[in-house]
Chains A and B, each alone.
Chain A
Amino acid sequence: MFGAGGGTSSYKEIEETDAIVLWGSNARTAHPIFFHHLLKGLSNGARMWAVDPRRTDSAKFADVWLGINVGSDIALANGVAHEIIDAGLENKEFIANATTGFEDFAAHVEPWTLKRTSETTGVPVEAIRDLAHGYANAEKAQIMWTLGITEHHTAVDNVLALCNLSLLTGHVGRWGSGLVPLRGQNNVQGGGDMGALPNKLAGFQDLADEEIRVKFETAWGSEIPPEPGWHLTDMFNAMGRGELRALYVIGENPADSEADVNHAREALEGLDILVVQDVFMTRTAEMADVVLPAALGWAESDGTVTNSERRVQRTRAAIKPPGDARQEIEIISDLARHLGDNSWGQPTAEDLWEELRTVSPMHAGMSWERIENEGGIQWPCPDENHPGSPFLHDRLWKQPAEGRLAPFSCVDDRPPVESLDDNYPLRLTTGRALDSYNTGVQTGKYNSPIRTGEALEVSTADAEKLGISTGERVIVSSRRGSVEMTVEIDPNLPLGLAFTTFHFPELVDVNQLTNSAYDLKSGTAEFKAAAIRVEKMIDA
């Protein structure tokens, strides 16, 4: 956000904030321990708005639930901005001191009257006004989101639209105010930290910046191509085109997890060589030419991960990996040796970390020992005397603001790629269940008493219209595929919306239905908005 590759705030801050806007996130289910901090905030008197097409378990804790049309987030954010400006509630001093582009932005959201916003989003006018005023008038306010914002073809624009609201009100850069994207996996943030992004090097340093490249080239003793690589969706497209012929997959199960998964599987099938390094024989591993069994990251390996508050923390090996499974560092180092580079040796996790500190300024102050002793450190931490950074961008509150000013972004409402029609009249959106995780590779191995299996959740009204009832098996089809599912009526769903989790691909191959249309800026596929049709099973 505003030049930094992570959320602005610490978990603790939400305990002391006054207004909580949970937007496109079911944190109660997907990030339960973050939600504990949020609940403390509610106990301390914060007011909460939940923006979500579904009245989720999280939304049920909110003072106000705004049941938005799937994919109309930008319209709502623009409408809220319009109302804040219209009511004169914007933070004029902050805007003048710390931002650029306000005039253009104000003009851009001018057409987003409450009425128009309501028509586009499906949210009643009074609720939009309430959110706008409540957020703007709060002394401290936080917006947090998850994949409900980013698994759209407008992913990056959606995030920018929320950033606009924080700039408009000055709800960023101070304790208790901020923007918090909750990371879905335990080291998504750490992957970014380490430069596992097509256009970044470690520490979110720009690949395009020659000075940076030279720094890394000197440190690594090898040449770094200046062109950004492919992100995941690009890779599958490149496989489809036959340009990408060999794939090395580490700890990912795309043969189950990709949107429009039939298409993804075809792409994987067509590779010359597929190498999979994982802890289990996933569906992807089963397709591989070579499988490299690896140790579990969190219980069998030493290393670090970075969480959603930018805290770098230690993982430690508590048990030995089984059988032939090996440490991932060993596997990769060995691979380097086999590829002809004998300079790697057998580095430890600590060796790699110490190297990172020399090239990534935001990590430079985090010695291995400090990470151990201080229960993790939040980046940026430029030197060993620096305590780490609980929140970002207090620079924007300096008089005058330091560094690059934060720009408003004029972003446009763009409905989901796949529109509804008579053949595919229902909107399908996906999400997580509390006791399961992704494609169930790990969580499938314990016997959860609250596991209900995969069901297609539909609204009471749609169930009536379709003549289906809870427990009934139905055929669910999208333009990409069909699967058989069990129906569950959820009285909290609005008309026209269906929902399912995606944890049991061996039982229900949900991603046959989802849409692989994606955001050109981030490469994220539009998992959250497919068009489907539900049909009763015809008795044999």
Chain B
Amino acid sequence: MPDIKFGTSLPTDSEKKAVDETIESHGPVTLEITERLVYAGRQRTQERRHLLLPALHALQHTSGWISPGGLDYVCRVLEIPPAEAYGVATFYHLFSSQPPSGDQILHVCNDIACSLNGANDLIDALKKEGHETKPSPCLGQCERGPAVFVQRIASQDTVVFDADLKHIGKFLTENSEKESIKLPQAGSDSLRLLTRVGVLDPNSLEDYQSHGGYEALKKALEMGDEQIIEEVSKSGLRGRGGAAFPTGVKWKAVADEKGRAHHLVCNADESEPGTFKDRVLMENDPFALIESMTIAGLAIGAEKGWIYIRGEYPIARQRLTAAIGKTRKSGLLGDNILGSGRKFDIEIRSGAGAYICGEETALFNSIEGFRGEPRNKPPFPTTNGLFNEPTAVNNVETLANIPRIILNGGETFAAEGTDQSSGTRLFCLSGRVALPGLYEFEFGATLGEILDAAGGFSGPGTLKAILLGGAAGSFVTPESIDLPLTFEDTREAGVALGSGVIMAFSDEDELTKTVLRIAEFFRDESCGQCVPCRVGTVRQEELLIRIADKNPVEADISLFDDLASVMSDASICGLGHTAASAIRSALNLGLLETQ
């Protein structure tokens, strides 16, 4: 965009180098052939815009902030108007517009699960020791909180967990490499998706292959694209990200859009408070995701797959990056997959601290180098998705089911679970249970059975409530323990299965604080685009604070109802639609009543 005007700040040499390396494959927009011939223009600009997010990461990583000189440089080479790039940079919480005070920033999770485990004390303790500390929304470490995402300058980010409040210094240095897979069902025959977790070396392709890896891809190549979709349709597989859309229908819709490039996007932006299942899969069985995506890509006719992974999952990102490199080298990805002549490759994009980017259209905007603001639907991603081209977006867990469907056939898969909820489901158990961790059950298991498997309620007091489906889900009381956690039963009960969150609370936990934290979460994570959500989430939180220590009067309830209505009816996307749902359920169940 030629009206670009730049400031006077200059990039540092290392910023320049980092940006140059990021855009290396494409080169800058303006290509001066001679003093009398310059190529530039809209097409070159558009082709490079998606490099903005990686370039911002490069700046943040190099300097610890998005410096004016660095941003100017990015804008120069990509011809992005600085105001727009600034708008993008300030959208993400992991990009800082202030210079750093040290060499790392500690993002300490104080979301609903971790705050039950003393997260706020940890923040105070870290601050006291002089660390640059920011409270963070859920880091997806709920089974082993409190957790800290360590964002470093010029060296690897990491995550520390199971924080030991007494030995903070030690914890920050020693804990970071510690393996801790909380998989209480390990070794059980009933496991499907989790069989390899903790069993194989996540960095070894050979190990993956010796555990049956890549048999499904071979079979898929023999089956042909239409047959793959046929089997997936027969399997009855539905999306595990929250919307429960039939995967086969989605794939067929994309495959049928002839004449345009197609994309496969793996939504690994797992950010729903209480959710950590995709992280466990990606960290411990990364090749399975790559194989699954390859099969999916072939089926829908996409030559390009994208993994959009949240920025707070550095370990999963490193392992996936390494795994992609190895599969590429082995001819399992690239221009000629297993000698079939078929093309498929995967690019990883890191989020930068924005829950909203888990919304599929916000995710597209984020990859494309724009603010992660959701788009209005319709049109739907299957016709107008990433780069406005037909796109299938699938959650990590959804994809992880694919190899099994290919190897055993769709009907075998459909035989497990219930009629409308086929296969197994991952559940993220946290809060007041004896054995927090990741669980896998055939659809049909009841809430009570799952809680029992996790050792049942554990903690002071008695079980008071369970949060199902995360912050966007709803609270239930122990009266619901016989509810089978299937798509159909939860829908009928008016609760959400969402991302498989089951978080237990005791009657001694301050649920008012939990609910306030949920309200704060939505206020923080609203993208700000539409009025109902931007202002509604703020007013909702203000109202909850006002009524926190008193029983609400009729005017309060009527205001809450109106706020909930406008957010749920008139917001653009699912964030606003669900921003009041958990809170409403808590109010309806009387969980916040002061005694």
Q: B35's contact among A61, A62, A494, by CB below 8 Å, is which?
A: A494
B543 on interface, CB distance cutoff 8 Å: no
| A126 CA / B3 CA spacing, docked (Å) | 27
Evaluate contact between B40 and A124: CB separation under 8 angstroms.
Answer: no
| Contact residues in A for B38 (Cβ distance below 8 Å) | 55, 59, 64-65, 67
Q: B37's contact among A28, A43, A60, A67, by CB below 8 Å, is which?
A: A67
Evaluate contact between B40 and A494: CB separation under 8 angstroms.
Answer: no
Evaluate whether A64 and B35 lie within 8 angstroms (CB atoms) in the complex, with A57-B2, A57-B3 already known.
no
Q: Which residue of A lies closest to B79 (CB)?
A: A60
* Range for the number of chain B residues in contact with chain A: 10 to 19
| A43 CA / B41 CA spacing, docked (Å) | 11
Evaluate contact between A124 and B43: CB separation under 8 angstroms.
Answer: no
| Contact residues in B for A28 (Cβ distance below 8 Å) | 2
Evaluate contact between A65 and B40: CB separation under 8 angstroms.
Answer: yes
Q: B36's contact among A48, A62, A63, A122, by CB below 8 Å, is which?
A: A122
Chain A min CB distance to B80 (Å):
14
| A126 CA / B38 CA spacing, docked (Å) | 11
| 0 or 1 for each of A159-176: is its CB under 8 Å from B? (1 = yes) | 000000000000000000
Q: How many Cβ-Cβ contacts under 8 Å join chain A to chain B?
A: 52
Evaluate contact between B42 and A42: CB separation under 8 angstroms.
Answer: yes
Evaluate whether A127 and B40 lie within 8 angstroms (CB atoms) in the complex, with A57-B3, A61-B2 already known.
no
| A65 CA / B31 CA spacing, docked (Å) | 10
Chain A min CB distance to B574 (Å):
30
Interface centre among B33, B34, B36, B43 (most CB of A within 10 A): B36
The B-contacting residues of A in range 41-62, CB under 8 angstroms, are 42-43, 47-48, 55, 57, 59-62
| Contact residues in B for A65 (Cβ distance below 8 Å) | 37-38, 40
| A499 CA / B87 CA spacing, docked (Å) | 35
Q: Which residue of A lies closest to B44 (CB)?
A: A63
| Contact residues in B for A61 (Cβ distance below 8 Å) | 2, 41-42
Q: Which residue of B lies closest to A64 (CB)?
A: B39
| A62 CA / B2 CA spacing, docked (Å) | 9
Chain A min CB distance to B459 (Å):
59
A95 on interface, CB distance cutoff 8 Å: no
Evaluate contact between A495 and B41: CB separation under 8 angstroms.
Answer: no
Evaluate contact between A64 and B36: CB separation under 8 angstroms.
Answer: no
Evaluate contact between A66 and B37: CB separation under 8 angstroms.
Answer: yes
Evaluate whether A63 and B43 lie within 8 angstroms (CB atoms) in the complex, with A57-B2, A57-B3 already known.
yes
A426 on interface, CB distance cutoff 8 Å: no
Q: Which residue of A lies closest to B2 (CB)?
A: A60
Q: Which residue of B lies closest to A125 (CB)?
A: B37
Q: Which residue of A lies closest to B43 (CB)?
A: A63
A74 on interface, CB distance cutoff 8 Å: no
Evaluate contact between B41 and A123: CB separation under 8 angstroms.
Answer: no
| 0 or 1 for each of A495-509: is its CB under 8 Å from B? (1 = yes) | 100000000000000
| 0 or 1 for each of B232-258: is its CB under 8 Å from A? (1 = yes) | 000000000000000000000000000
Evaluate contact between A126 and B37: CB separation under 8 angstroms.
Answer: yes
Query: Given A63-B40, A66-B36, A494-B35, list of 10 further CB < 8 A pairs?
Result: A42-B41, A43-B42, A62-B40, A63-B44, A65-B40, A67-B37, A67-B38, A124-B36, A124-B37, A127-B33
Q: Can you list the 9 inter-chain pairs with the closest CB atoms, starting with the nearest?
A: A60-B2, A63-B41, A67-B36, A65-B38, A494-B35, A127-B37, A124-B37, A122-B36, A61-B2
- 17 A-B interface contacts by CB (under 8 A): A55-B38, A57-B2, A57-B3, A60-B2, A62-B40, A63-B40, A64-B37, A64-B38, A64-B41, A66-B36, A67-B35, A67-B38, A124-B33, A124-B37, A126-B33, A127-B36, A494-B36
Interface residues of B (CB under 8 A from A): 2-3, 33-44
